[in-house]
């Protein structure tokens, strides 16, 4: 009897491993090349993930582009809808990919329903903590890392380390935030008022991490996620914020560096410096949203390329190559590198920041063939 059970177990293991090798990180795949360094991720959405069966095996981590954001998971108070995310998680699991959860707290008006902010700071914070506990509980073991907060820092280019966070939407309609408004942040306020508001923002972050930690399965990693756009002051602000959070007992494991770059202004020195400085605080790093657009973010909106030239492809390959050289050098500090998309047939960059614009940001082309950027990453 025991022998029969053992034989059945052995058969199951053989079957499982052959299924895994069909779909998971096979020989010569990107994630296989990097298996001793860090996970290799891609971001997909509900509209495009079915397109990528042919190359999904290159990756061993997946982020849902929008399907785990607040407006999709809890559009109406108390009514959770996990159907899109659950289908994508199932697809990831069938293909041997772990899942990053993105994101619990954010200010973006398209991603957070306005009912969340009704009433006082305390009312909104209570809804946030409920949301955090619900979603982390729902996904449980299926998500190995969460972006607990996304993009809290100001974009101001100054070295004032009391000016850390966004301001109210009244002060800045584009970059302002309702969370920051409820916490009392405003332009031109007294040092005392700003300090009190900064404390409330940090309390919001610390308490969200605590709520997520309380219900997360053991081993789940919790991150703060942020973009930097070559603003070195913002890196200084990040470090000050992290020092405050750690002093306040924040249960944070690491920082997600979004890394939305472009081929004209990429600054590898700043990227490396950031990885080293985050790690010096005892925190892990994940590169959560890398891509290399053809356009500087602030480029004239009339600039619209119609063709991906050889020169662009070479420059892009050299950018990806340099970035991954840094990632390999600091592999002891980095646990995952995720491309914000899969292949050039589908990208948020076709509409952000300029509507209907061509771009070629990824390592696979629109036919899912490997670009020079792919070679630059694997040939080392
Ligand atoms: C940020 C967010 C992502 C995504 C991109 C697209 O980086 O973290 O979820 O929305 O912007 O612009």
Per-residue pLDDT reduced to its tens digit, 145-189: 999 999 999 999 999 999 999 999 999 999 999 999 999 999 999
- For 213-252, what is each residue's pLDDT tens digit? 999 999 999 999 999 988 999 999 999 999 999 999 999 9
Instruction: Enumerate the active-site residues.
Output: 151, 289
348 CA: nearest ligand 1 atom:
6
Cβ(161)–Cβ(237) below 8 Å: yes
- Ligand 1 atom closest to 147 (CA): 8
Nearest to 58 by CA among 292, 285, 377: 377
Q: Verify cis geometry, omega within 30 degrees of 0, for the bond prior to 353.
A: yes
Q: Are the C-beta atoms of 327 and 337 separated by less than 8 Å? A: yes
Sign of CA dihedral 55, 56, 62, 65: positive
Nearest to 255 by CA among 269, 230, 237, 267: 237
Stated as kind and residue range, the H or E segment containing 196 is: helix 191-215
Which protein residues are within 6 Å of ligand 1, measured from CB?
Answer: 102, 150, 227, 258, 289, 348, 352
Q: Does 12 have pLDDT greater than 70?
A: no
Distance CA 184, CA 63 (A): 33
Query: Which numbered atom of ligand 1 lies nearest the CA of 106?
Result: 8
Would you say residue 128 has pLDDT above 70?
yes
pLDDT digits (tens, 9 = 90+) for 292-305: 999 998 889 999 99
Q: Which range (9-23, 170-184, 187-201, 281-295) has the least confidence?
A: 9-23
- Ligand 1 atom nearest the C-alpha of 258 is 7
Domains (ranges, CATH) in the chain?
Answer: 8-378 (3.20.20.80)
Distance 266 CA to ligand 1 centre (A): 18
| pLDDT value for 246 | 98
How large is the average pLDDT for residues 20-45? Answer: 84
In the reported structure, the alpha carbon of residue 14 is separated from the centroid of ligand 1 by a whole-number distance in angstroms of: 40
Task: Check residue 24 and give its pLDDT.
Answer: 65
pLDDT score, position 23: 55
- To test ligand 1's pocket by mutation, which of 41, 43, 44, 65 has the most ligand atoms within 8 angstroms of CB? 65
Evaluate if residue 377 carries a pLDDT over 50.
Answer: yes
H or E stretch covering 261: strand 260-262
CA dihedral defined by 12, 16, 19, 22, rounded to 10 degrees?
Answer: -130
For the chain, give the mean pLDDT. Answer: 93
Q: Phi, psi at residue 256, to the nearest 5°?
A: -95, 125
10, pLDDT greater than 70: no
Q: How far is the CA of 329 from the centre of ligand 1 (A)?
A: 27
Provide the whole-model pTM: 0.93
List the residue whose alpha carbon is closest to atom 7 of ligand 1: 258
In 3D space, the residue among 97, 182, 177 whose CA is nearest the CA of residue 143 turns out to be 97
Mean pLDDT score, 270-284 = 98
């Amino acid at each position: 009897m025991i022998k029969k059970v053992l034989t059945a177990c052995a058969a199951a293991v053989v079957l499982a491993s052959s299924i895994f090798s069909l779909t998971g990180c096979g020989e010569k795949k990107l994630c296989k090349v990097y298996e001793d360094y860090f996970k290799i991720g891609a971001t997909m959405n509900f509209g495009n993930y079915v397109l990528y069966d042919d190359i999904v095996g290159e990756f061993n981590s997946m982020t849902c582009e929008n399907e785990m954001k607040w407006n999709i998971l809890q559009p109406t108070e108390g009514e959770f809808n996990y159907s899109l995310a659950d289908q994508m998680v199932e697809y990831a699991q069938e293909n041997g990919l772990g899942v990053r959860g993105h994101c619990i707290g954010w200010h973006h008006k398209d991603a957070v329903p306005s009912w969340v902010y009704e009433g006082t700071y305390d009312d909104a914070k209570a809804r946030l903590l409920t949301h955090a506990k619900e979603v982390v509980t729902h996904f449980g073991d299926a998500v190995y890392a969460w972006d607990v907060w996304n993009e809290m820092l100001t974009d101001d280019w100054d070295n004032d380390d009391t000016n850390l966070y966004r301001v109210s939407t009244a002060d800045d309609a584009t970059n302002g935030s309702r969370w920051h408004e409820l916490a009392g942040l405003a332009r031109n306020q007294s040092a005392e008022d700003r300090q009190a508001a900064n404390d409330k923002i940090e309390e919001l972050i610390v308490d969200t991490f605590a709520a997520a930690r309380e219900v997360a399965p053991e081993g789940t990693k919790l991150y703060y996620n942020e973009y930097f756009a070559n603003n070195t002051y913002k890196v200084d602000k990040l470090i000050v914020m992290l020092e405050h959070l750690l002093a306040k007992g924040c249960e944070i494991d690491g920082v997600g560096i979004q890394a939305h770059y472009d081929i004209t202004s990429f600054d590898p020195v700043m990227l490396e410096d950031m990885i080293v400085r985050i790690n010096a605080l005892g925190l892990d790093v994940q590169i959560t949203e890398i891509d290399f657009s053809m356009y500087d973010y602030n480029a004239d909106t009339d600039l619209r390329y119609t063709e991906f030239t050889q020169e662009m492809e070479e420059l892009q390959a050299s950018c990806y190559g340099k970035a991954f050289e840094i990632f390999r050098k600091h592999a002891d500090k980095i646990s995952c590198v995720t491309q914000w998309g899969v292949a050039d047939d589908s990208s948020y960059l076709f509409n952000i920041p300029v509507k209907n614009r061509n771009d070629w940001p990824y390592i696979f082309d629109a036919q899912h063939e490997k670009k020079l950027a792919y070679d630059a990453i694997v040939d080392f």
